[in-house]
Amino acid sequence: MNNSSQTVLTSSSNVTAVYNVHIAEVWSSLVVQTAVCVIGTVLNTLNVIVFQHRRFDATPYLYMTALAVTDTGSLLVHMPYGLARCDRRISFCATQSFNYLRLQLSYYMTYVSFELGNMFEAMSAWITLLICIERLVTMRWPHVGKVNFSRRQGKRQLTLTITLAILFHIPLFFVLEIKQKEITTNLNETRRYHVTVLTPFGNSTYYYAYTWIRFLLVQCIPLILLCIVNVLLLIVIWSSYSNQKTYELKRNREEAKRSKALLSVMKEHRIEIERKSVMGTQVNDDSQVDGIDKLRGSETSQTDVQKANRKWRSNNKKRTKSLRPTRKSMTRLDRVQQANHKLTVLLVVVSFSFLFGQIPQAVAYAHIIKLFIPTNCPECYVYASLYQHLSHLLCLITSTTNFFLYITLNKHFRDRLNELCCHI
């Protein structure tokens, strides 16, 4: 989970509530994560705007729009996280006004960000898996893909996915709470802090079982299925590419044979025309032919040449007309297959980018990372929290990279974005 793992680790350590994180994590949360969330929100909003054009009416673009919306929601939810992690080790975070702001942010992180962040994470994982399954079915069984992954069916699938994600994460709203804690210093001074702790439900075995079920359904099983489906997609793309190359070579050979046949016909007609012209212009050395006969003979030869040319042109037009429909249909089929392959490659790259960000975060799961932390090492929890932050930051960064992938691998996206920029 996004923040529950950090809460569990903090509650297990003996570090105070103020300095329970490494200073590198504080600065990274305050500067890097905030910048990533702001930039990612803008870029994903552009993705949603571009995909609203009628040019992107295919079902995969509907899924990509939903993925951009969930990424935008996740980035917006985690945007104030850096301010909430800021502590007294940074000068401007030690002011009285910032203490009041941090208190409000702690309520936001406990009762809003934790729940919605995990909810959007599950939506992104399931939508990405849905995208890969749609591509595999469409590439492998086109007729089945048209029936089960039409735009209408895609809307239903997205509605069902989002509804299940919301219902599945309702228990998270009853896991954390804020309590006031008093700490006595060495000078016998009592300081009060607001700390986030687990509720009785959060400490129960039901929540423990729920976290494992969520880990399996959101991080473990989807990531494994994504790896398998992407490998199958790469195999399908490679086999389709090989078949297309073989088909093109075969078609080129057939066209070469047709061109040779046409050349032979042209040569025969040319030889026949030359023979007739020579026969028409031959002059008998023993007889005398007057000027009128010569003129008639030349006119006759020219007429024969023109007739032969017209005959050859008419025959050539008939052959060309018989070949044109087949060539047009093959060219259109090639274009559709090429566009389908490019879209599939784009979505495979997007899913691999998602895996690149999610796998380290899956390792950062609280119950798993605790297995690598010695029980007699309180400082290790600080570095474990730092690793959890960096893995979550990597996940947020991958949510912003889809915009650059779309620009690089999708020509229609670039064209539409240029149109929007020109209008602005």
* Weakest mean pLDDT among 16-25, 174-183, 211-220, 270-279: 16-25
Query: What band does 269 get if pLDDT is binned at 50, 70 and 90?
Result: confident
pLDDT of residue 172: 94
pLDDT of residue 9: 44
Which residues lie below 8 Å from residue 69, measured CB to CB, with a gap of 6+?
A: 44, 48
Q: Contact 417/407 with Cβ under 8 angstroms?
A: yes
The model's pLDDT over 83-108, given as tens digits with 9 standing for 90+, comes to 888 888 888 888 888 888 888 898 99
Stronger pLDDT, 70 or 342, i.e. the higher one: 70
- Averaged pLDDT, 130-148: 90
pLDDT of residue 327: 43
Closest CA to 30 of 20, 38, 42: 38
- Averaged pLDDT, 109-124: 93
| High-pLDDT (> 70) share of the chain, % | 80
In angstroms, the CA 137 to CA 301 distance is 66
In angstroms, the CA 302 to CA 308 distance is 10
Amino acid identity at 261: A
- Write out the two tokens for 18: 């103020």
Query: What band does 158 get if pLDDT is binned at 50, 70 and 90?
Result: very high
Q: What is the DSSP string of 336-354?
A: HHHHHHHHHHHHHHHHHHH
What 3-state DSSP class applies to 78? coil
In angstroms, the CA 289 to CA 312 distance is 33
pLDDT of residue 317: 55
* Weakest mean pLDDT among 53-67, 254-268, 322-336, 351-365: 322-336
Neighbours of 283 (CB within 10 A): 11
Predicted confidence (pLDDT) at residue 50 exceeds the cutoff of 70: yes
The length of the chain, given as a count of residues: 424
Predicted confidence (pLDDT) at residue 17 exceeds the cutoff of 60: no
Query: What band does 206 get if pLDDT is binned at 50, 70 and 90?
Result: very high
- Write out the two tokens for 387: 């690793």
The model's pLDDT over 369-396, given as tens digits with 9 standing for 90+, comes to 777 777 777 778 888 888 889 999 999 9
Amino acid identity at 288: Q
- Cα angle: 3, vertex 397, 222; to 5 degrees: 65
Stronger pLDDT, 307 or 300, i.e. the higher one: 307
